Structures are given as structure tokens and as C-alpha cells.
A and B are shown apart, each in its own frame.
Chain A
């Protein structure tokens, strides 16, 4: 199988602090990982595409300096929410692809971020 581990599953932080979320592919190498944001009862909104060894590709309207993405290895991508504010509170989900196949993507279990 293809397993993606995402940590933490939930986090509460104070306004102005930074929070790092990790996404790991446990049993496969992922050259590309994707980060999504999901508001309650809404669809997944793609924030950025994370490419191993290169800069992430951000979707229009996503602040690069606020949502820092690092994909330092073939099994790990991180999303850091910098200087978090209450409006950053949301559910963040990562996904990873095993490669040029057609099996869709494996998703992490998500991280619920609450900024107080």
C-alpha cells in the first residue's frame, strides 16, 4: 500500500507564533506532494505543489511568505504557517503521489489548526 503520515493531527497555537506540519510518505518515495486547506463543509482548496529539491509552486492568492513549504527529501514535506492569526485556523491536508501512475493520490489524515 501507500501510506502518508501527517503530524500533528491537531494543534493550538497563539497568534503570532509559527506552526510546522509534517507530511511523510512511509513506504514510497514521493517526488511531488500537495498541500490543501479545507474549511468546514467545503471542498479541498489546493494551496501549493511541493517538489522535492526545488521551490514549491503556489496557487494564486496563497501567500508564499506565510505558508512556507519545504520538500527536503523524497519522503518528507513540511508546511510552516508563519506568524499565525486566527483566520489561519483551518484543516490542512497533504497528499502524495507515487509517481507517473494513475492511482490517484494518498492523503494524510489532516491537521486541525486553531490559532487563539
Chain B
């Protein structure tokens, strides 16, 4: 079974600085997707960034980028120029690339609570 591990329960960053959130996963599959979701105090889950395992190029979305190391099964999120609105719980998630019902469930890590200091 696949597992996702986030070893940093809490992180803090100064406004305008850069912070990296760690995520490792375990799977025997070769094709899958990885995601970072943000959950602010409103508790609405928001997709931050996604990565297809077959792509070697790291995904980027504006101030958000990932460092995807497939062999090491590592998927870290870098937030540049941190803003107060980035304060939230961040979840790393895994999804099999096989399509069909429960096989497409998202497997979440335990989350990292990010605080942004003004």
C-alpha cells in the first residue's frame, strides 16, 4: 500500500522569505501523480501544484515549485516570497495513475502547518 509522510508538523517563515516543506512517499507503482494541497483556516482544500511522475521537469506555479526526486521518492514544496496569505496547513498527496473508482483515491500525508511571520 502507498504511504505519504510529512515529517514537519509545523514550520515558520518570515514574510518575503523562502520555505521548503518536505514530503516523502512509498509506492511500488511507476506511474502516479503527486499533489500539494493548501487548507487555510476556512478549511477549504485548495490545489497548489501537481506533478506527473513520468515528467522529469519539476512543476512550478508562480511562487510555488516542487523538487521531485523520483528515485528517492521525495516531493518537496518550495514557497518563494512568502506572503501572509500562505499561512495554512499544507498536505502532500499521492494518487495512482491507474483509473477507476477507489484506485484514484488521494492518499494524504499528515500535513505541515505553516506560519508566516510579518
Contact = CB atoms under 8 A, between A and B. Distances in A.
Partners in one complex: yes
Contacts of A42: 110-111
Interface string A29-60: 00010100010011110100101000001000
Contacts of A93: 43, 45
Given A100-B99, A103-B47, 11 more contacts: A32-B101, A42-B111, A44-B108, A46-B105, A49-B101, A57-B102, A91-B43, A93-B45, A95-B106, A102-B50, A109-B42
Nearest to A2: B47
Contacts, number: 57
B10 to A, nearest CB: 10
B86 interface: no
A32 B104 contact: yes
Interface of A: 32, 34, 38, 41-44, 46, 49, 51, 57, 91, 93, 95, 97, 100, 102-105, 107, 109-110
Interface residues of B, number: 27
B52 interface: yes
Nearest to B55: A102
B44 A97 contact: no
Given A91-B43, A104-B35, A110-B43, A49 B105 contact: yes
Given A102-B50, A102-B52, A107-B44, A43 B108 contact: yes
B24 to A, nearest CB: 15
Given A46-B105, A49-B101, A95 B52 contact: no
Contact of A109 (B44, B95, B99, B107): B44
A104 B33 contact: yes
Given A102-B52, A104-B33, A104-B50, A49 B102 contact: yes
Interface in B29-54: 33, 35, 37, 42-45, 47, 50, 52
Given A51-B101, A97-B104, A102 B45 contact: no
